[in-house]
Chain A
Amino acid sequence: MRCFICHQEIIPEVNWANVWKIDAKQTCCSECLSLFENINPGCPKCGRPSVEEICFDCVRWGRDKEDPLEKNISLFRYNDFAKDWVARWKYRGDYELIYSIAPQVKKVWREAGWNYSVVAVPLSEERLSERGFNQSEALIRTLDKEPLHLLERQGSEKQSKKRRTERMAAANPFKLKKTIHQPVVLVDDIYTTGTTVRHIATLLKENGCPKVYSFTLFR
């Protein structure tokens, strides 16, 4: 087996703890894996690293009206290594890079115990044809789930260029195609300010969805 990030041959380390499990597929070498930073415990609501209580952002989201998002779980901090990883995966389009952290993704997903339908975050036609795949759907496939396509984009999605305040105030870039009346999980690659997932959560909840969670790789 080779590391899906650096392509080095992975030599499994055998010790008493794992001697019966070494044939469990390793997809990332220990060196590359060590460059990701786990988030624990983080904000119990959004997973913001380096805090232990509900963080300032989450308090603010729920201040004026009810926060549409129930809870976010993220795997890793969005550090420099993660940024390079995302650039290669999403922008260069190296689809198979997701296999490198698939075991971790599945583990955290199992631990979350969310037995809900999984909703994909749509991309605009333009982005989709540039990249060749939708990162949210790629992640959902990694979880062995079928994505629900309830939404579509409206307008442009150059939101990362805007400032936080502008982003919060911006009109909702999504439209609902189909309603759902069960709890759902949104799946995406990065949780930055939480604006994207909350835009979607608001739409879903206004149209009959009781609870919206989100599952993201990086925070």
Chain B
Amino acid sequence: MFKKTEAFNWIPHHSTPHTFPHYAGKILLPHEIPPEHIEELTKTSVLTRVPSIIKKQCRRCGNQKPHLFGHLPHAKCQQDCLYCRNCIQMGRVIECEPLYIGSPECFWPAWENALAWAGELTPSQQQAADEIADLVKTGSGEKLVWAVCGAGKTEMLFPGIALGLAEGKRVCLATPRIDVVRELFPRLQRAFPAIEVQALHGESEKTGDGQLIIATTHQLLRFAHAFDVIVIDEVDAFPFHNDPSLHFAAKRAGKPDAARIYLTATPRNQEKRRIRSKQLPVVFIPKRFHGHPLPVPKLTLSFNLSRYLKKNELPAAILNLIKKPRDRQLLIFLSSISLTSGLRGFLASKGVVTEQVHAGDEDRKEKVERFRNKEIDILLTTTILERGVTFPSVDVFVIDAGHEVFDEAALVQIAGRAGRSPDDPKGDVIFFHSGKTNAMLDAYDLIRKMNRLGQKQ
């Protein structure tokens, strides 16, 4: 998972457990600790002071890029001080102030039979769940869970989490998107009702002192050697994929002997290479929990598509397909925000009522909810809805599927929106394009390959 080896030997190690869970395995700025407690906590080694920026590297986020450091004529020390601009959203790391590391050795209770979930796992889910639980037991290792969209990966984690909690371990599930944290939190809390599950994200008020935490991957920047079990969801997704500081944080947040579990439906080349060279153990779940195959996308050529899109219009063939009466709702993926509003206007002029969402849309949550409640028939969206959201019965169109925003992973995820429910396991997936791209062909091949593997099981 990580290209460079980072030793993290600056993180102190203590063997005597303390009773301050809100400092356990935390990285704190001086002003985040009540000043009257700092001395006592440092003396008893609950907290340890370490330099914050060393050899031009920020210790909180791992940033080493010169353009992501700034200089500040610092009123406090009257010097020109270096600070990290990369992780500034979590408060300023500045070279003249230390960081405080909370000793990870904290007392956590052992929870017998914490799992209240009584559902049943499919054989392939069970296989993965067993392998995850084995890793939780032994610690010190990695496992990639390569599961198709709709495999039911959350449930596969339950037995492993339960085992960890039974051994008094601390567990973190990190996922890139805040929506997914919000969606998984109640499910996790219901599965483990005796434990206070904590949800951490940029807008939450929690301090991160829980034994079982669900967090955005960004929040891992606050932890050092905190967790015995760390699950990283959607390792291929933005922003985790491509942000070296999140990889740095994910590595550091786990203890040196942690069990590390990565989840993905669409591994990137980096993971595929490590799988091929047998450095990264993998478990496949090629089958959806309801047992039906993944809908295979249809690649439909549309001449002069970009000429139409430039005018915010659609060729008659696509328009007619959109207008055609259908049993399911329709999700239409587009390459840009301006296109979602442009085509919404065009469709309205043709008598087709639609709604649109994008990342910056303040009403996104509400519109997605209305679509889920079937108050909206057709939803135009950017790639923001490519993953994490589930609708029971939709057809999916990608218009201009050759556009660079639709890479292999995105297209597989988008196709994976269809056929999620056992009541309606099918769904039409159509990629409209003006020339096939490698991304489209790779996505197509991967989906077919998974279906073949699934059939064998």
Contacts and interface: CB of A to CB of B under 8 A. Distances in A.
Interface stretch (B87-95, B115-123, B231-239, B253-261): B87-95
Contacts of B68: 7
Contacts of B73: 95, 133, 141
B72 interface: yes
Given A2-B67, A7-B67, A96-B85, A133 B91 contact: no
Interface in B80-115: 81, 83, 85, 88-89, 91-92, 94
Interface string B182-205: 000000000000000000000000
A129 B68 CA distance: 23
A93 B83 contact: yes
Contact of A88 (B71, B76, B89): B89
B75 interface: yes
B31 interface: yes
Given A88-B89, A132-B75, 14 more contacts: A7-B68, A88-B88, A92-B88, A92-B92, A94-B85, A95-B72, A95-B73, A96-B71, A96-B85, A128-B76, A131-B75, A132-B72, A133-B72, A133-B74
A134 interface: yes
B70 interface: yes
B75 A128 contact: yes
A94 B88 contact: yes
Contact of A133 (B67, B75, B85): B75
A131 B71 CA distance: 14
Contacts of A95: 70-73, 83
B304 to A, nearest CB: 28
A157 interface: no
Nearest to A89: B88
Interface in A115-169: 128-134, 141
Nearest to B70: A96
24 contacts: A2-B67, A7-B67, A7-B68, A7-B85, A92-B89, A92-B91, A92-B92, A93-B72, A93-B88, A94-B88, A94-B92, A95-B70, A95-B72, A96-B72, A129-B75, A129-B76, A130-B31, A131-B75, A132-B75, A132-B76, A132-B92, A133-B74, A133-B75, A134-B75
Interface centre among B67, B75, B85 (most CB of A within 10 A): B75
Contacts of A129: 75-76
Contacts of A94: 70, 83, 85, 88, 92
A7 to B, nearest CB: 7
Contacts of B75: 128-129, 131-134
Contacts of A2: 67
A189 B70 CA distance: 20
Given A92-B89, A93-B88, A94-B88, A132 B67 contact: no
Given A93-B72, A96-B71, A132 B94 contact: yes
A91 to B, nearest CB: 10
Interface of B: 31, 67-68, 70-76, 81, 83, 85, 88-89, 91-92, 94
Contacts of A131: 75
Given A2-B67, A7-B67, A132-B74, A93 B89 contact: no
B307 to A, nearest CB: 24
Contacts of B94: 132
| Most chain B Cβ neighbours within 10 Å, of A88, A129, A132 | A132
Contacts of A93: 72, 83, 88, 92
Determine which residue in A7, A92, A95, A131 has the highest number of CB atoms from chain B within 10 A of its CB, and name it: A95
Query: Which 10 residue pairs spanning A and B have beta carbons closest together?
Result: A96-B70, A95-B72, A93-B92, A94-B88, A92-B88, A128-B75, A132-B74, A2-B67, A129-B76, A133-B75
Contacts of A130: 31
B116 to A, nearest CB: 41
A177 B133 CA distance: 69
A128 B76 CA distance: 8
Nearest to A9: B67
Nearest to A127: B75
A7 B72 CA distance: 18
Nearest to B96: A132
A132 B76 CA distance: 6
A51 B92 CA distance: 39
Nearest to B69: A96
A129 B94 CA distance: 13
Contacts of B76: 128-129, 132
A96 B91 CA distance: 15
A128 B74 CA distance: 10
A82 B159 CA distance: 47
A70 B88 CA distance: 38
A88 B72 CA distance: 14
A209 B164 CA distance: 72
Contacts of B67: 2, 7
Contacts of A134: 75
B221 to A, nearest CB: 14
Nearest to B65: A7
Nearest to B67: A2
A7 B86 CA distance: 10
A94 B82 CA distance: 11
Nearest to B72: A95
A155 B16 CA distance: 46
A183 to B, nearest CB: 28
A88 B83 CA distance: 14
B72 to A, nearest CB: 4
A129 B97 CA distance: 12
A104 B68 CA distance: 22
A136 B76 CA distance: 16
Nearest to A2: B67
A2 B70 CA distance: 13
Contacts of A132: 72, 74-76, 81, 92, 94
